[in-house]
Structure 1
Amino acid sequence: MNSNQPINRYEHLTEFFDSKNVLVTGGFGFVGGHVTKRLVELGANVTVIDINTDVNRDSILNCASMDLRSKILVHEADVVDANAMKEIIHEGRFHFIYHFAAYASVIEKAISAPYDTIMANTMGWVNVLEACRLAPYKPNMIFLSSTDKVYGEMEEDSYSEHSTPLRGIGVYDSAKLAADVFSRTYHEAFGLPTVTLRMCNIYGPYDFNMGYRLLPKAMASIFGSAEPEAPELYFDAIEHHRDYLYVQDLVTAILLLTQQQKCRGDVYNLAAGTYMPTPQMLKTIVEQAAEVEKSYDAERAETIMNNGISIRVRQSGSTVHAITKQHLNGKKIEEATGFTVQADFMDTLRETIQFYREYMRTRDEGC
């Protein structure tokens, strides 16, 4: 299977990360896996923590064609376990720590397990910070992956880091907001070199969260069965607007933040690649899936287009409350690091859809 190559406009990153000791929590997940892959390519000594490190788990780190797993040190551990975090971080003598471990990345899952969400998404981060505070060898940077959801409903044209109030009210939103606040607290009170990035919706290959996330869920509908099915859109999402960024651009942004010492103790919005209504995004996914399918099966491609999108009403009594519009102002990160979006939206969307089509056809063989 042809994997997307990282966007490497910054050749000096290789020298910067070569032979550095790096920890990635949640490394078997979508973003953590891509960050791990890039760090390995840059010559870093990477240790990965995840609550599920099974060799049969769908993850970029388990893809035999890439042989990434043999190039990293793997710890199966829960970030909620403070003692485990302390032991791993004290022994690892890490230069950089990247924290992606989370219980839930979608509001539907978080609302069904609020306590677990808060423990993992807030206290998991606190456990990492505490381990770093007590460690004899202090990391040079401790990175938190936060979210645009900490802002709550958008009232202006976009969210700005220091002028938009933090008003996240959902379980997932609030748990991430608390972690976000503790980043600043541990920097101000204890001098830890934290960096917080408030992220938008990330797309790209090897995202296997097909139960909830928009693109992989749509791919499961379109390519996961003998006959393509129409991807679902909740009725209450018709008015939603979201930012979208290709995963390789995100990885570059994270590594540039790592490199800039002046970014320690600060918080940044991720610059978006594309901002559009959710129905338009799903419609574009369907159209591009049909285009990809045309070169294989014209009749199936026509079925994909004819199916369109299925509008679904949430079950009565649902307590899910989604933010209507989310759009990040990314000027601050651009000024601090020089980061700009490089990926072409339509090209990378088609490449991602191509990945899922092949994956769905050969998933029993692994990637």
Structure 2
Amino acid sequence: MAVVSPSRIKYEHLNEFFDSKNVLVTGGFGFVGGHVTKHLVDLGANVTVVDINTDPQRDSILNCFSMDLRSKVLIHEADVVDATAMKDIIHEGRFHFIFHFAAYATVIEKAVAAPYDTIMTNTMGWVNVLEACRTAPYKTSMIFLSSTDKVYGEMEGDSYSEHLTPLRGIGVYDSAKLAADVFSRTYHEAFGLPTVTLRMCNIYGPYDFNLGYRLLPKAMANIFGEGEPKSPELYFDAIEHHRDYLYIDDLVNAILLLAQPQKCRGEVYNLSAGTYMPTPLMLKTIVEQAAEVEKEFDNDRAELIMNNGISVRVRNTTSTVHAITKQHLNGAKIKDATGFTPDTDFMSSLKETIRFYRNYMKTRNDGC
């Protein structure tokens, strides 16, 4: 008899929970925000999306023609840094739930290049959401913040724990998210706002179009881009890095489960990882699985992908990027609160994700 996880049992009740609820998703045209939006629409919610770029030509799951998500949501093009815009949208929307994913520079290289914009969006954008909720005539049931494992800084010991590990993030992106993380608790304690904060790890899955920076999409651009396949790049200083990885559907499951219990209000949670591994091993696995996928179409090209392997590069010596060596989240608290545990098989989900990118790169259609 198959064992069904507690999270799957609770997930079956999400349709009733979110049906006909008014929900706001900021950053809804991004990778995570887009997937959350799709799930909420499927669950019957009335979804409003805010994003700084809502262009119909933008690569996003919301612009996938076959899903027709744009016609099923209300779209506002606005910057979360604009306090007036956020106040107007939130006051008029009378939202039951708010999911905040809008962010600038979700990778450290971009944050270093634009520190002010990173801080304004990742910290003050969240404060603007909180202020709009604080002054709204209609009180929201839950306000969710997408935080990051980077708020902890360099890991000592085996893993990060919510109330045992000090917050020592020092990079621009890390500190901006850390400040937002702290404001979640402040606005809950001082004003009673029902915040929920989730410190997330590295997420993979289809429809992540950050091809220039994130590990998997960037590797896909090298392997399946125009011309002959190229070796995915690994910076020399990342050889010792270890990271958590979780499939996007598991992340969405965790986020939606956190919206249900009242006991989660005012709390911060670590996201349970599906897989914890060294970055070189992750990139090696990506190459191997990409070759396996390519064998279904072109054996010679598949062999070339394997032969190319990984290209190790030395980072520019003038770079001010300082990456954390090891990041691993202890997910016991979220499991206790919601029953959430990752359900997706790593290899099969990685292979399906790679198959999506191959199709997207080869056809350059809307990725559907």
TM-score range, shorter chain: over 0.9
Check the 8 A contact 1:200/1:244 in 2, yes or no.
Answer: yes
1:204 corresponds to: 205
- The reply on whether 1:192 has 2:229 as its aligned counterpart is no
- The reply on whether 1:272 has 2:281 as its aligned counterpart is no
1:344 corresponds to: 345
1:121 corresponds to: 122
Instruction: Specify the code of the residue in structure 2 equivalent to 1:305.
Output: M
Q: Deviations over 1:318-364 (max 9, x none)?
A: 10000000000000000000001100000000000000000111114
1:181 corresponds to: 182
2:105 corresponds to: 104
Q: Deviations over 1:180-208 (max 9, x none)?
A: 00000000000000000000000000000
Structure 2: distance between partners of 1:342 and 1:129: 32
Q: Deviations over 1:154-192 (max 9, x none)?
A: 001000000000000000000000000000000000000
Structure 2: distance between partners of 1:131 and 1:122: 15
In structure 2, relative to structure 1, the CA distance for the partners of 1:366 and 1:253 (3 Å cut) is closer
Structure 1: distance between partners of 2:324 and 2:60: 29
Check the 8 A contact 2:49/2:73 in 1, yes or no.
Answer: yes
2:94 corresponds to: 93
TM-score (norm 1): 0.97
Instruction: Specify the code of the residue in structure 2 equivalent to 1:326.
Output: Q
- Any idea what SS the aligned residue of 1:259 has? coil
Check the 8 A contact 1:240/1:277 in 2, yes or no.
Answer: yes
Structure 1: distance between partners of 2:244 and 2:94: 36
How do 1:183-332 and structure 2 match up within 5 A?
183-332=184-333
1:4 corresponds to: none
- Any idea what SS the aligned residue of 2:257 has? helix
Deviates more, 1:311-320 or 1:266-275: 311-320
How do 1:120-139 and structure 2 match up within 5 A?
120-139=121-140
1:78 corresponds to: 79
How do 1:49-68 and structure 2 match up within 5 A?
49-68=50-69
Check the 8 A contact 2:207/2:367 in 1, yes or no.
Answer: no
Check the 8 A contact 1:64/1:366 in 2, yes or no.
Answer: no
Instruction: Specify the code of the residue in structure 2 equivalent to 1:158.
Output: S
Structure 2: distance between partners of 1:72 and 1:310: 42
Check the 8 A contact 2:63/2:366 in 1, yes or no.
Answer: no
Structure 1: distance between partners of 2:363 and 2:55: 19
Structure 2: distance between partners of 1:317 and 1:164: 31
Instruction: Specify the code of the residue in structure 2 equivalent to 1:270.
Output: L
Instruction: Specify the code of the residue in structure 2 equivalent to 1:15.
Output: E
Instruction: Specify the code of the residue in structure 2 equivalent to 1:125.
Output: W
Structure 2: distance between partners of 1:59 and 1:8: 27
Q: Which runs of 5+ in 1 are unaligned?
A: 1-6
In structure 2, relative to structure 1, the CA distance for the partners of 1:365 and 1:321 (3 Å cut) is closer
Structure 1: distance between partners of 2:63 and 2:8: 23
- Any idea what SS the aligned residue of 1:303 has? helix
Paired positions, count: 361
Structure 2: distance between partners of 1:173 and 1:321: 11
Q: Deviations over 1:106-164 (max 9, x none)?
A: 00000000000000000000000000000000100000000000000000100000000
Shift of 1:270: 0.1
Check the 8 A contact 1:199/1:269 in 2, yes or no.
Answer: yes
- Any idea what SS the aligned residue of 2:131 has? helix
Shift of 1:211: 0.5
Structure 2: distance between partners of 1:364 and 1:288: 23
Check the 8 A contact 2:356/2:367 in 1, yes or no.
Answer: no
* Percent pairwise identity: 83
Q: Which runs of 5+ in 2 are unaligned?
A: 1-6
- The reply on whether 1:162 has 2:163 as its aligned counterpart is yes
Shift of 1:12: 0.6
Shift of 1:225: 1.7
Shift of 1:8: 6.1
Instruction: Specify the code of the residue in structure 2 equivalent to 1:329.
Output: N
Structure 2: distance between partners of 1:305 and 1:295: 14
Instruction: Specify the code of the residue in structure 2 equivalent to 1:79.
Output: V
